Amino acid sequence: MKKALTLIFLLAFILQSEVSKACSCIYIGTFCETITYNSEEVSPYLCVIRGTVIAQESDKMKVRVVEHLGGTAPVSHEIFIRSGNGADCAEFVGGFEIGKDFVFAMNTGWGLSMDLYSLTICGVSYLRINNEVVEGKIAPGINSINYSKLGTINECGNLIIEQKIGLFSIFPTLTSAGPSISLDPESSESVLIDWEVYSNIGQLLDEKNAQNFVPGEKFTLNMETYPPGVYLLRIQRSGERKVIKIVKI
């Protein structure tokens, strides 16, 4: 009996030790939210790059830095990203295909090696690039964008996605302040439009009826006081109606 109890306590200790080794973190659902968590800028503990995977080793992969996009600068034009095991909150990197480009948000220097980085599993730490199109969970409601539109990622609100309704342009749809509505400067006459802003549950938050736009004029919707989230902008002119998703970050 005494031996059995000893074995039970030993097993419980081992199980408790294994549990304590498990990764415990709050998962952040998109890349932009991950790199700017609770801030308007990229975390100083991150190095954000465009990189090409050039080699796979047993416990890490080698990446050639194509472009530094934000955060701490990479220590070299070729760096290593170590492979995690999940329990250490780091991404397993063995599945990244050699020769492919990604946007990586890497945790800086690991241990004593300054050129060894890691990718967190507590958020979206990388995005794929296919034919110069960035793909993945970029921001709430945004899963694809041309790399050329990525720009500086320091505020992550510089991802400009332009929507057009006839002669009107609405951009950016991923914003920290609010989108601008503009009438094509080549339009031959002014136009009257109605616009309304709704929450994602259908609550009317702001509206304007019969607003006159002259060619080349730009009007910015002020969303600075709105909490982060998804909003709907409904625009109507001459019987034509369009609803556009706006993501406030």
For 163-248, CATH number out of 2.60.40.1930, 3.40.50.720, 3.40.630.30, 1.10.10.10 equals: 2.60.40.1930
Per-residue pLDDT averaged across 93-110, rounded? 89
Quote the mean pLDDT of the chain.
77
Name 247's Cβ contacts closer than 8 Å, sequence gap at least 6.
139, 140, 141, 142, 173, 174, 175, 229, 230, 231
Any idea which fold 31-149 has? OB fold (Dihydrolipoamide Acetyltransferase, E2P) (2.40.50)
| pLDDT of 126 | 95
Quick one: pLDDT band at residue 38, thresholds 50, 70, 90?
Answer: low
pTM value?
Answer: 0.58
Quick one: pLDDT band at residue 243, thresholds 50, 70, 90?
Answer: confident
Q: What is the tens place of the pLDDT at every residue in 177-215?
A: 888 787 776 666 777 888 889 887 778 899 888 777 777
| pLDDT of 9 | 37
Contact at 8 Å (CB) between 192 and 230? no
Domain ranges of the chain: 31-149, 163-248
More confident residue, 115 or 226: 226
Assess whether pLDDT exceeds 90 at residue 131.
yes
Name 116's Cβ contacts closer than 8 Å, sequence gap at least 6.
60, 79, 80, 81, 82, 109, 110
Taken in order 151, 155, 156, 159, is the CA torsion positive or negative? Answer: negative
Taken in order 136, 139, 140, 142, is the CA torsion positive or negative? Answer: negative
